[in-house]
Chains A and B, each alone.
Chain A
Amino acid sequence: DIVLTQSPATLSLSPGERATLSCRASQSVNIYLAWYQQKPGQAPRLLIYDASNRAPGIPARFSGSGSGTDFTLTISSLEPEDFAVYYCQQRDNWPALSFGGGTKVEIK
């Protein structure tokens, strides 16, 4: 099974700052990686698919990059509503897909 490791576990930043989240796969997943945002008490929301494609309605401040085993989600300038938990997910070897453990972006 492919293990996704997200880092850091918690990121403490202020509004307006840049957030850089990492997701590392235990083996190559090509570009087949997605990012989701989850706020407390809510379901996750798809942000990015195929490593770098924004889902419909997702603001341009969210961007994804990477391929193979190393991926990055960048939030260029944090808005108050961006403080949440972010998960990566690979679909390269479906149906054995997997999620990372999450990165919490909290207000500093």
Chain B
Amino acid sequence: QVQLVESGGGVVHPGMSLRLSCVASGFTFSSHAMHWVRQSPGQGLDWVSYIYYDGKNIYYTDSVKGRFTISRDNSNSTLFLQMNSLRVEDTAIYYCVRDRRYCLNGVCQGRGWYFDLWGRGTLVTVTS
């Protein structure tokens, strides 16, 4: 079954850290770039971070630069998001998301930065 399963969310105080994980199954994880996208309660969607299929290119939205670190373990089909110095405004459901672009043996197909597979999300609550 093609799916993404997130874990690691929870309730923390401002300034604390959390590490989110996302295990992929049913597809070749190492062939896709991956993203984290978040959604504050009752609000819209915000892109957080991107990592290329080989981990060599990484991007962050400005509000998390210097605090969040994205990484991946292709041998275990797992995506991570290390979140440090958490703020109240980081409270959200965090979705692990697959990039639509597919790369195999250095040849890529499809246009990237579209999100074609989403996990169910993990809730991060930062509260004082």
* Residues of A in contact with B (beta carbons under 8 Å apart): 32, 34, 36, 42-46, 49-50, 55, 87, 89, 91, 94-95, 97-102
Q: A34-B115, A44-B95 are in contact. List 17 more A-B contacts (CB 8 A).
A: A32-B111, A36-B115, A43-B120, A43-B121, A44-B45, A44-B118, A46-B114, A49-B100, A49-B111, A55-B116, A89-B115, A91-B111, A91-B114, A95-B47, A95-B59, A98-B47, A100-B44
B113 near A97 with CB under 8 A, answer yes
- Complex CA gap A97/B114 in Å reads 10
What residues of chain A lie closer than 8 Å to B47, measured between beta carbons? 95, 97-99
Interface string of B16-41 (1 = CB under 8 A from A): 00000000000000000000000000
Could you tell me the dominant secondary structure of chain B's interface residues?
A: strand
* Residues of B in contact with A (beta carbons under 8 Å apart): 44-47, 50, 59-61, 95, 100, 111-116, 118-121
Using known A-B contacts A95-B50, A95-B59, determine if residue A46 contacts B115 with beta carbons closer than 8 Å: yes
Closest to A101 in B: B44
What residues of chain B lie closer than 8 Å to A36, measured between beta carbons? 45, 115
- Complex CA gap A1/B113 in Å reads 16
The 6 closest A-B pairs by CB, nearest first: A91-B113, A43-B118, A95-B59, A99-B45, A94-B113, A49-B114
What residues of chain B lie closer than 8 Å to A45, measured between beta carbons? 118
- Complex CA gap A94/B111 in Å reads 12
- Complex CA gap A32/B45 in Å reads 17
Q: Which of A46, A55, A100, A101 has the most CB of B within 10 A?
A: A46
25 CB < 8 A contacts A-B: A32-B111, A32-B113, A36-B45, A36-B115, A43-B119, A44-B45, A44-B95, A44-B115, A46-B115, A49-B100, A49-B111, A49-B114, A87-B44, A87-B45, A91-B111, A94-B59, A94-B112, A95-B50, A95-B59, A95-B61, A97-B113, A99-B44, A99-B47, A100-B44, A102-B44
What residues of chain B lie closer than 8 Å to A101, measured between beta carbons? 44
Closest to B47 in A: A97
- Complex CA gap A95/B111 in Å reads 13
Closest to A42 in B: B120
- Could you tell me the distance in whole angstroms from the C-beta of B117 to the nearest C-beta in chain A? 8
